[in-house]
Structure 1
Amino acid sequence: MRRVIVASPNTTNAITRTLERVKGFFSTSRQGSMGCDQSGMHYDWQTGVPLMLPHPIDSVIIAVPARNEQALITSCLQSIRRACDHAQTALGTRCPPLLLIVVADGCVDRTVELARAQPGVRVIEQPPSGVGAARRAAIAVALRAVTGPPSRAWIINTDADSHVEPNWIVEHLRHADEGADVLIGTVRPEFDDLSQDQVTAWQASHHRGQPNGHIHGANLGVRASTYLEVGGFTAMSEHEDVDLVGRARQCGYAIAVTDSTEVVTSGRQVGRTPGGYARYLREDLRLLSTSLT
């Protein structure tokens, strides 16, 4: 397992903005050698350098967009419930509140009914608007329920055709508490949905312990303050996840990459968008499998 913090050319600008904000705070309040601004971060008042990492996360938002996923939504939500149970057991009283929201984006099948049958799930229905708008809607609703500062809320994204590992939430929280603003987690397809040649090609190009940094909305975490400051998900029909991380990187936020908790997603090769993960499996992975034979 390897964790990587990716810096951007604009990191200096982000540090400058932080120093200016802290300088303004301490120009009117200097008490001792350490101070704390409204975000809860502690700084040396003379240099503006952070003295500690952000406070631990005290709210977790889990956002799941869905479009006609009656075949997979139940297993997805049950896997998230197991991850919630594991977090509550592992962390005990330190486990923050966990808010799980599904946005049914123009569903005409039983997705809404099946999602509402699962305990602890809030379901929101909207006309077909695309995955970017669905993620944005889920997070907007959840943030209205968060009472603390956005810097202490963590947003975890996955997809309705995926299932997560039991340690999924705990690992996201660990990286957040270590200072990550964005966490890019690995995703692999359900091997039962692929040909043997495709499985072989996948295994030849993906190695456990060497996360490749590919961005997938099915396993993407972001600090709520970061999410808000870069403008959140946009109403894109695809690649909204890549767009969000790109803006965070340009602003110099700390981006971590991990395969410590992998999400398994559907291996279907006709997806909900023309250029998404299904296209990769159908075209790129098939081409790779051909080159290996």
Structure 2
Amino acid sequence: MPPHFPDTVIAIPVRNEAERIEACLRAIDAQTDVAPGSLGLVLFLNNCTDGTQAIVEALRPTLSVPMRVTHVEFAEAQAGWARREAMNAAVEWIGPVAAGGTILSTDADSRVPPDWVARNRAALRAGADAVAGRIELDAGEAALLPPSLHERGRLEDAYSAVLTEIEARLDPDPYDPWPCHRTTIGATLAVTRDAYVAVGGMPAIALGEDGAFVAALLRQGFHVRHDPNVVVTVSGRLVGRAPGGVADTIRARCEKPDSLCDARLEAVPRAVFRYLCRRRLRRLHAEGRLAVTRGWARFLKIPESDAARIAALPLPGLAVAEAERVSPRLVYRPLGPFELARHIRFAAMALVPIRALTGLANRRGPAPTQRRVAAKREVPTGP
């Protein structure tokens, strides 16, 4: 029999998930709108001591999706390494079906909806190179968490949504239009095989490998769709398997309710300043003017040596990311949770004129590139 090469492979790192692995695998096996033989599943079991491997093997004959299972013991194991190993195994399995091949990532304590694969594939067909979905906590486990945690989550989600719309309007990405979100989590990621290989794969780091991976894609000019319609259910447990994961975040916020919010949840004026700077830098890069003028660098208080290095970067994503890293004016200053309510009110008011102004600009259409180049200013007064 010839080898089976699916064009889409789901990669899951697994460690001691005896309680949840069956629900995870049953959900994957229930995928709809998937052609027979097109889907494969990779499980990378690392340091499992609770019977997970036996449960997986017992389930294997009952699943319609072909599955490859690796079991390793490695004292230096950590989240990024395990996810990388799982996704690398997916790349190998896709093999000669490289053109159009897709890798999806989720977690062993997650449950994907029946249309998860189909929705990710649809977003990729629409022009994205990668798709980042959203997560929701398991309702039963979430009900056991303190009400204060739910209130904080509600406020953070509300503020994040307003900031995301402001960003999408001031610095629009045609491949990631509003409505969108800014969640980046390994529990729901999809990426083309070519894009995954091009950026060197998933970073093998202990914390934040998912965010670092998506940032690498954006820096290299790949298109990432943050699709609000791709949603995965994750556990609301307080003791997780990977340091710095969802469980650690939930527990830390239970123990320290006043801990700072995510870095991007900064005050509206700072956020607007950041989005306008990004847009300006992208336009200067597209017009070949980063190396011609240094007004942008002086405005952002970037030293000349750094400015020359940034101007020489070949892709706008690389230039923007490096400018944000070195500019003292673009340092993130996240809010505390008790500041969110008033900032939400202010952001909602700020969004009204932003919607009006960006809507007017969209109706008029972009100015011709030749006119923008001819009217360039050597020393800009703002972003």
TM-score between the two structures when normalised by the length of structure 2: 0.55
Identity of aligned residues (%): 28
CA distance in 2 between counterparts of 1:191 and 1:211 reads: 23
Instruction: Pick one of 230, 252, 255 that aligns with 1:283.
Output: 252
Residues 109-164 of structure 1, C-alpha deviations (whole Å, 9 max, x = no match): 11111122222332110123222222222222232232445341111100001111
Shift in Å at residue 69 of structure 1? 0.6
Residue matched to 1:166: 114
The offset of 1:261, in angstroms, is: 2.2
How far 1:204 sits from its partner (Å)? Answer: 4.0
1:242 aligns with 2:211: yes
Pick the structure with greater CA Rg. 2
Structure 1 residues 183, 231: CA separation in 2 closer, same or farther (over 3 Å shift)? same
Higher helix share: 2
Please point out which of 40, 46, 71 is paired with 2:19: 71
1:198 to 149, 155, 171: 149
Q: Distance in 2 between matches of 1:115 and 1:203?
A: 36
Name the residue aligned to 1:32.
none
For 2:233, the aligned partner's letter is V
Query: Any idea what SS the aligned residue of 1:163 has?
Result: coil
Q: How does 1:245-260 map to 2 (within 5 A)?
A: 245-260=214-229
Tell me by how many angstroms 1:238 deviates: 2.3
Distance of 2:229 and 2:16 partners within structure 1: 30
Q: Match for residue 45 of structure 1?
A: none
TM-score by length of 1: 0.71
Separation in 2 of the partners of 1:104 and 1:67? 6
Instruction: Answer yes or no: is the 8 Å Cα contact 1:189–1:267 preserved in 2.
Output: yes
Q: 5 Å matches for 1:83-102? A: 83=31, 86-88=32-34, 93=35, 97-102=38-43
Are 1:115 and 1:121, in contact at CA under 8 Å, matched by a contact in 2?
no
- Give 1:219's aligned amino acid: T
User: Which residue of the partner structure matches residue 286 of structure 2?
Assistant: none
Is 1:123 matched up with 2:69?
yes
Pairwise CA distance, 1:167 = 1.0
Q: Pick closer, same or farther for the CA change 1:76–1:252 going to 2, 3 Å.
A: same
User: Structure 2: which 5+ residue stretches go unaligned?
Assistant: 1-5, 162-177, 260-336, 342-383
Aligned to 1:206, the other structure's residue is in SS state helix
Q: How far apart in 2 are the matches of 1:177 and 1:260? A: 15
Is residue 151–residue 226 contact of structure 1 (8 Å, CA) maintained in 2?
no
Runs of 4+ displaced beyond 6 Å: none
Q: State the match for 1:103 in structure 2.
A: 44
SS state of the match for residue 199, structure 1?
A: helix
Letter in 1 for 2:71: E
2:302 — aligned with what? none
Q: Which amino acid aligns with 1:169?
A: V
Equivalents in 2 of 1:98, 1:213: separation in Å?
Answer: 27
Relative to structure 1, is the Cα distance of residues 171 and 288 closer, same or farther in structure 2, using a 3 angstrom cutoff?
farther
- CA shift in 2, pair 1:245/1:220, >3 Å: same
Question: What is the CA distance between 1:288 and its match in structure 2?
Answer: 6.7
Cα deviations across residues 235-254 of structure 1 (Å, max 9, x unaligned)?
A: 22221111111111110100
RMSD: 2.5
Of 82, 91, 108 in structure 2, the residue corresponding to residue 134 of structure 1 is: 82
Equivalent residue, structure 2, for 1:270: 239
Q: For 1:151 and 1:269, locate their aligned partners in 2 and report how far apart those are by CA, in whole Å.
A: 41
- The structure carrying a bigger strand percent of its residues is 1
Q: Is the 8 A contact 1:186 1:211 kept in 2?
A: no
**Contact 1:66/1:105 (CA < 8 Å) preserved in 2?**
yes
Change (3 A) 1:64 1:149: same
Greater length-normalized contact order (CA 8 Å, ≥ 6 residues apart)? 1
Give, in angstroms, the shift of residue 210 of structure 1. 5.3
- For residues 165 and 123 of structure 1, the distance between their equivalents in structure 2, rounded to whole angstroms, comes to 22
Letter in 2 for 1:246: A
CA distance in 2, matches of 1:225, 1:149: 11
The answer (yes or no) to whether the contact 2:8–2:102 under 8 Å persists in 1 is yes
Distance in 2 between residues matched to 1:272 and 1:244, nearest whole Å: 20
Instruction: Identify if the C-alpha distance between structure 1 residues 96 and 245 changes in structure 2 by more than 3 Å, giving closer, same or farther.
Output: farther
Q: Deviations over 1:47-101 (max 9, x none)?
A: xxxxxxxxxxx71110011110101111111111112xx123xxxx5x6610101
Asked whether the 8 Å contact 2:46–2:71 carries over to 1, the reply is yes
Shift of 1:106: 0.8
